[in-house]
Amino acid sequence: MLPLSNENPDTVLICYDGSDGARWAIDAAGAVISARRAVVLNVGPPLTLIESVALANPGIFDFERDNTAVATDIAEEGAELARRAGFDAKPNVLLGAPVWGSIVSYAGTIDATLIVLGSRALTPAGQMIRGSVSHQVAQHAQRPVFIVPQPRN
């Protein structure tokens, strides 16, 4: 296991979006990281594309509440997976964009010793079009980042 040294208990930030890659990252982290305290973070969108269009129509919508509820369910699922992997995990939710920026900011807020996230294994063209959250987090986090690639089938 990789030790994380600090006088205070280490907090690992585990990024979880409900994908297979994120599940795989939790399992891998549980197998190699000795720190046992974790926050499982899901970053939801402030508004989806459909919600943006809906705002142009009259009516009362509470998209923030709805998006928070969905993101909370995902974060709670991830925290349960992290507990099964041996972490003392608590879920948390942020609504924000870009996702990588929200992750980096939150890692600083909780002074995370390590950020764990899965990789979607995008092609270079896919990274240019859709962006790579893991790549951006690694470039901007100013703290260790553990990126777990998806297993090959």
Instruction: Indicate the residue type of 103.
Output: I
Q: Give pLDDT, residue 9.
A: 63
Q: Give the chain's radius of gyration (CA, Å).
A: 16
- Cα separation of 87 and 43, whole Å? 20
Tokens of 85: 């992997």
The length of the chain, given as a count of residues: 153
With a threshold of 0.85, does the pTM exceed it?
Answer: no
> So what's the pLDDT on residue 42?
96
In the sheet that holds 145-148, the strands lie side by side as 88-95, 37-44, 11-15, 114-118, 145-148
The domains located in the chain, with CATH, are: 11-148 (3.40.50.620)
Amino acid 7: pLDDT = 43
User: What pLDDT sits at residue 65?
Assistant: 77
pLDDT at residue 92, as a whole number: 97
Is the per-residue pLDDT at 54 higher than 70?
Answer: no
Tens-place pLDDT, residues 137-149: 999 999 999 999 8
